[in-house]
Structure 1
Amino acid sequence: MRLFFRKQEYGILVYRLFLAYVFYFLARILFFFYNASVLEVHSVTEFFKLSYYGLAFDTAAILYVNLLFILLSIVPLRISTTSGYRKLLMIVYFVTNLVAYALNFVDFIYYKYNFARTTLSVLDVVKNEGNKIEMFFRFMISYWHVYVLFIVASILWVYLYKRVKLPQIEQRLSNKAYYLSSIIGFVIIGTLIVGGIRGGDFKKSTRPINLVDASKHVEKLEQADLVLNTTFAFIRTFGNNSFKKVDFDISDEEVQFYIKPIKQYTTNPATKPNIIVIITESMGREYIGAFNEDSGIPNYESYTPFLDSLAQHSLIFPNAFANGAKSIHGMSSVLSGIPSFVDAFTSSSFSNQKIQSLVSIMNDLDYDTSFFHGAPNGSMGFLGFSNILGFDHYYGMEEYGNDDDFDGSWGIWDEPFMQFMKMTLDKKTEPFFSSIFTVSSHEPFNIPEKYDGKFPKGYVDMHEPVGYTDYAFKTFFEAAKKEPWFDNTIFVITADHPNQVYYDQYNKVINRRAVPIMFYKSDGSLVGSDAKLAQQIDIYPTLMDLIGYNKPFRSWGRSLVSDDGVEPFAINHNVSQYHMLRGNYICTFDGNRATGFYDLNDKSLEHNLIANKTLEMEKVELACKAFLKDYFERIVDKKLN
């Protein structure tokens, strides 16, 4: 009887864990429903095949979350069948499961902007926000349907949990059979837990499965995010430190050949122009017509008439890419030439070191240096990182001083804040170096009421605020060109990362990091369109080259205006894979070895050529290894200065 009763306990435990599988499958269906346009899954059969592979990741997530619940369910205690203990079990079960389960609902919406399952790094984005409560309620209003779905799913889960209960039977702890069954149960269940967390492979697996393992089961990289679940992605990045030296058999000579991390330019004479670097929130390359003239997109429409006109008098790079996926990644990539891959460099323990950057060099050259961000001071972690870089001045919402221009979500509308920057710069002694990070071209996709109807609505929510931010650029340049400092200023315009996608061309894996890079000077000395590969980390060395800075400095990027011996390339990371674009190929790299080679035009990564590996492909892989080797060594050894 005792042994039989123990079987009942184990049976109910299995049932309760099975419920978790049911609701994780439901979350996968809803995730697909919200993001079908970007997941590259085109049949029911394909969906169920990917869901089958996802069981391994669901299992790991469910076991991680339910470790305490499982332990409390199988311990041989006299009180284990009392009503009080059952209530405790239920509380533990739903507190842990529903909190973890809710993470999946975040990605119903967030995935379209990040193109990756949410990981622990999202905390780096929100931890510096002072209006978390306001943001929560705004999201609740904007995406009420997601909250409703979560509440309905939670109520149904609780109902099904309560449907099956243990009979209340008095335990006799002296019963040897009861203890024996408990010991056997511990061993079996413990073994199954270990196997489940490791991916179900006891013989071959050397570590628990990780995010990269999802890519093994897919034909297109986008599908890996359907195999994964957000709970797993969040848990498996908890406590991870991706900033570790890598053990590649790469010589210093190869690092020098492929990357040349110490740059020195002598092409141009030393000058001291003012420099303004504009990092535009979410302004993907897709939205700007000047960058799509040769894209071949049928019936393409632009939403940036001013930037299109400015581009005709600028040097533009229509084949440029972001080095990261988040705003803070963009700041470090553009201003200090330090990309972020798995984790944000700025939130790592290695960010608080002396960093040679655009800012430090401008300071050494006696420039007045300033950073503008219209959000509440400290938002996005920009204030902290700007202090590390050494800006003389930080201008945020507090310095702006007029909350009437607050957009209600992120910060001061772009048009008035850019005018504030212009008026602040008017008072500075030249030369000055200034950077602004705009805020308006971003979710929740609002524009000031006075401009309702002024800008095209377009086809996605992002198009109208893009038009507004373009107008903010127009009013800024019209005002700035009247000032004496304007003609002695180099302007750089780029973006931190793309946002909503409308055209299929930009829904391709590689193009999800496509951003504009534009250099403008009123004397017409920077004009043309260069289709070579470019990336955010190239902006820093390019400016050093343009102003004739002739001392050695650290840079993993290259000059875009002269040949410094480094072949054009771009590198970034997409949750589980590095992407290295170089020459004629794209290399996908899992951190240890190349997992694929694709023609440079195969931005969807559909045709893996690794079976016919060529010498050029090997060089692309070596370039990736050389970059990562020097990148991690300099960061870990604190040699960024």
Structure 2
Amino acid sequence: MKRLFGHRLGGLLLLYCLLVSIAFFSRLVLLVYSFSEISTSLGELLKTFGTALFFDTVTFSYFMLPFWLFEVLMPLKVVQTKTYKVLTYVFYTLVVALLVYVSFAEFLFWEEFGVRFNFIAVDYLIYTNEVVGNIMESYPMPLLVTAIVLITSGILWTLRKTQILDDILAAQTPFGKRLVAGGALLLLTAFSWFFVDFDWTEISTNKYNKELSKNAIYSFFEAIRNNKIDYAEFYQTVDNKQAFTELRNILQTPESQYIDAQNVLNPVRHTTAQGAERRYNVVLITVESLSGEYMSYIGNDRDIKTPFLDSLAEKSMFFSNLYANGTRTVRGLEAINLSIPPTPGTSIVRRPNNENLYSLGTIFKQKGYTNKFIYGGYGYFDNMSYFFSNNGFEIVDRDVISEKEITFANVWGVCDGDMYKRTVREADAAHAAKEPFFMYVMTTSNHRPYTFPNVVGKEFSKDRRGGVAYTDYALREFFQSVQNKPWADSTIFVVVADHCGGSAGRAELPVLEYQIPMMIYSPKLIGAQNIKKLCSQIDLAPTLLALMNWNYNSTFYGKNVLTMKPEEERAFIGNYQKLGYIQHDTLLILGTQKSVTQYKFNPKTGEEKPIPVSDYLKSKTICQYQTAEYMFLNGLNKVK
């Protein structure tokens, strides 16, 4: 040990060993946890762990910089003082505690999302109250803290027992040697900064292997750096006029014509309906984390049951082949309200200059409707209050809901049952004022920590199964409470998920992890049917407005599913970097570094096999994603 660490730069070597060792054992835990999903051939594992060691080393090249200053530049007479020795022990205590803490944190993150730290972890830093509260309510924190303390203490005891730190502190390496060796380490940092690309983790077609090859700390800071993505820099593009011209060929229909025939960069279309407009009320419920596979009507084979939703689907216009835009609530809200493909980086809901856009809210407001966005949590979360209040809605959130209305709440908000009761009161008030209404409801209960009110005769487990069961129960209670309301027969009810309950999978974009249910229920107005057309969340807005027989202007990318031709069927799926386009059983993905990949997928198993890229499909995909980003950045979808 003394030969290995008995020099002034031994402290940096120790730092490297600690970082790599703890990251390795953390990686082993994740491998065992997700063993059934990981490609475990010798070649795949060697690539995975070899790449992992490389990125652990890259992480060290940054992580070491503060201590490098002390190890290389600090005079020997200072190093030999008692104060410096105490500070050294404190430093390593904090480093070990931090690395162990990160390992525990990334396991909890992996359990929830199936990935290393990414943009979601970055977003969570903004909403510490909700996130910390969620963790405190979801996990046995005393046990976890005890485990972190014990592991940290064990590592520090080992360092003390082997006298590694004493050997380092006793070393008297001359300044010249320290400077030469330290300079070589700085070359490693320079190499990492100028040449290393995060895409070097793309070493497998299996997403789990790619995620295992990453370093948690490096992934976190990479997510901070790339939370805003310049589309033109990172993705394949074509000339903007060419893209908008092709977009017109895709979106223009006999009933939906562009208002400016000459300027192809003007994306506004006017939709003309046949006959009189219908002034139906609308209650649109976006359900948190409701995967399509939870419903037997789509083909549930899990131990999760939705008896009420299954019965509602049989009485509704049910869309059984519909896909969510993304994996987070703000992506669902963006898709439903703006009818736009998912743009790279963060959702438009959270981006600046998102006011007064063509959206469901602005269209209903133009028609004289009372619009309410009803959310059981605090609307500042994910910028929801700002977005909705600047796009046609009044906000009803936790700040507005009185204590006497709340029977149960957790860190995410009041329970769904309480929120539905408030929704009924808002609808009653609008009806009494003879105002048509649009109630947009966002639920919260189907989310960790999975805590629910006590219900006589019901017991909900504190897991996803219990969350779905309570969601189903609360919806049943809501529909029973409104069936005799004077406004019920003239109201269209829409139930749709914001995203699936999870997005983990081996593939870059696991298609089946984006399939969600949507049903439009109004027994007096709309006949029950199962619509099996391939469609997207972005199609909700034009389909709903077609049922209302409305004339309106919009920049919607969605289509009326009811009149959609077979060749028009498609869906958009994505995460914050990968942008996917589904047509038939083919998935094309636009990636950063201007990559394009294409897969044939099995609609039943979700298995994806690489196939050659179709120029035709690539062109369709690029024009829609490129114009969506360009349109927003240049304010082309703002209501003038």
TM-score bracket for this pair, using the shorter chain length: 0.7 to 0.9
Q: Is the 8 A contact 2:207 2:506 kept in 1?
A: no
Q: Is the 8 A contact 1:245 1:636 kept in 2?
A: no
Q: 2:156 aligns with which of 155, 158, 162?
A: 158
Q: How many Å separate the matches in 1 of 2:559 and 2:268? A: 10
Give 1:629's aligned residue.
Answer: 626
Q: How many Å separate the matches in 1 of 2:471 and 2:179? A: 66
Q: 1:277 aligns with which of 254, 279, 284?
A: 284
**Structure 1 residues 285-434: aligned runs within 5 Å:** 285-292=292-299, 303-338=305-340, 340=342, 342-346=344-348, 348-396=350-398, 398-402=400-404, 405-428=407-430, 429-434=434-439
Give 1:523's aligned residue.
Answer: 524
Q: Deviations over 1:418-456 (max 9, x none)?
A: 12211221111331111111111121223323346456x
> Once the two structures are aligned, what percentage of the paired residues are identical?
20
Q: Deviations over 1:259-307 (max 9, x none)?
A: 6664443344422211111110111111111122xxxx6x566611111
Q: Deviations over 1:121-147 (max 9, x none)?
A: 434346346455544432442x65544
Give 1:450's aligned residue.
Answer: 455
Alpha-carbon shift at residue 554 of structure 1 (Å): 1.0
Q: Is 1:590 aligned to residue 591 of structure 2?
A: yes
Q: 1:436 aligns with which of 416, 437, 441?
A: 441
Consecutive unaligned residues in structure 2, runs of 5 or more: 253-266
Q: How many Å separate the matches in 2 of 1:33 and 1:496? A: 31
Alpha-carbon shift at residue 635 of structure 1 (Å): 2.2
Q: Is the 8 A contact 2:574 2:580 kept in 1?
A: yes
Give 2:571's aligned residue.
Answer: 570
Alpha-carbon shift at residue 394 of structure 1 (Å): 2.1
Q: Deviations over 1:18-56 (max 9, x none)?
A: 12100001111222334445x434568754542222222
CA spacing shift, 1:21–1:403, aligned 2, 3 Å: farther
Q: Is the 8 A contact 2:349 2:382 kept in 1?
A: no
Q: Is the 8 A contact 1:330 1:496 kept in 2?
A: yes
Give 1:60's aligned residue.
Answer: 58
Q: Deviations over 1:478-536 (max 9, x none)?
A: 1212112112122211112222699x999992222221122222225253222222222
Q: Is the 8 A contact 1:278 1:493 kept in 2?
A: yes
Residue 289 of structure 1 aligns to a residue in which SS? coil
Q: Is the 8 A contact 2:329 2:498 kept in 1?
A: yes
Residue 180 of structure 1 aligns to a residue in which SS? helix
Residue 607 of structure 1 aligns to a residue in which SS? strand
Q: How many Å separate the matches in 2 of 1:77 and 1:505? A: 52
Q: Is the 8 A contact 2:450 2:466 kept in 1?
A: yes
For 2:617, give the aligned amino acid: V
Q: Is the 8 A contact 1:506 1:512 kept in 2?
A: no
Q: Is the 8 A contact 1:274 1:490 kept in 2?
A: yes
**Structure 1 residues 229-240: aligned runs within 5 Å:** 229-240=215-226
Q: How many Å separate the matches in 2 of 1:20 and 1:28? A: 12
For 1:533, give the aligned amino acid: L
Q: How many Å separate the matches in 1 of 2:196 and 2:356? A: 36
Consecutive unaligned residues in structure 1, runs of 5 or more: 172-176, 199-205
Q: How many Å separate the matches in 2 of 1:440 and 1:543? A: 26
For 1:16, give the aligned amino acid: L
For 2:183, give the aligned amino acid: V
CA spacing shift, 1:21–1:551, aligned 2, 3 Å: same
Residue 581 of structure 2 aligns to a residue in which SS? strand
CA spacing shift, 1:139–1:61, aligned 2, 3 Å: farther
Q: Is 1:249 aligned to residue 238 of structure 2?
A: yes
CA spacing shift, 1:5–1:58, aligned 2, 3 Å: closer
| Number of matched pairs | 607
Q: 2:272 aligns with which of 243, 255, 266?
A: 266
CA spacing shift, 1:426–1:153, aligned 2, 3 Å: same
Give 1:202's aligned residue.
Answer: none
Give 2:262's aligned residue.
Answer: none
Using the size of structure 1 for normalisation, the TM-score is 0.85
Q: How many Å separate the matches in 1 of 2:189 and 2:599? A: 38
CA spacing shift, 1:453–1:353, aligned 2, 3 Å: closer
CA spacing shift, 1:125–1:192, aligned 2, 3 Å: closer
For 1:588, give the aligned amino acid: I
Residue 492 of structure 1 aligns to a residue in which SS? strand
Residue 246 of structure 1 aligns to a residue in which SS? helix
Q: Is the 8 A contact 1:114 1:325 kept in 2?
A: no
CA spacing shift, 1:71–1:338, aligned 2, 3 Å: farther
Alpha-carbon shift at residue 351 of structure 1 (Å): 4.4
Q: Is the 8 A contact 1:325 1:513 kept in 2?
A: yes
Alpha-carbon shift at residue 402 of structure 1 (Å): 2.8
Q: How many Å separate the matches in 2 of 1:76 and 1:227? A: 36
Residue 586 of structure 1 aligns to a residue in which SS? strand
Residue 557 of structure 1 aligns to a residue in which SS? coil
Q: How many Å separate the matches in 2 of 1:102 and 1:57? A: 19
Q: Is the 8 A contact 2:450 2:464 kept in 1?
A: yes
Q: Deviations over 1:37-78 (max 9, x none)?
A: 5x4345687545422222222222333333222333222534
**Structure 1 residues 2-81: aligned runs within 5 Å:** 8-37=7-36, 39-42=37-40, 46-47=44-45, 49-78=47-76, 79-81=78-80
Q: Is 1:209 aligned to residue 197 of structure 2?
A: yes
Q: How many Å separate the matches in 1 of 2:441 and 2:293? A: 21
Q: Is the 8 A contact 1:274 1:430 kept in 2?
A: no
Q: How many Å separate the matches in 2 of 1:556 and 1:81? A: 69
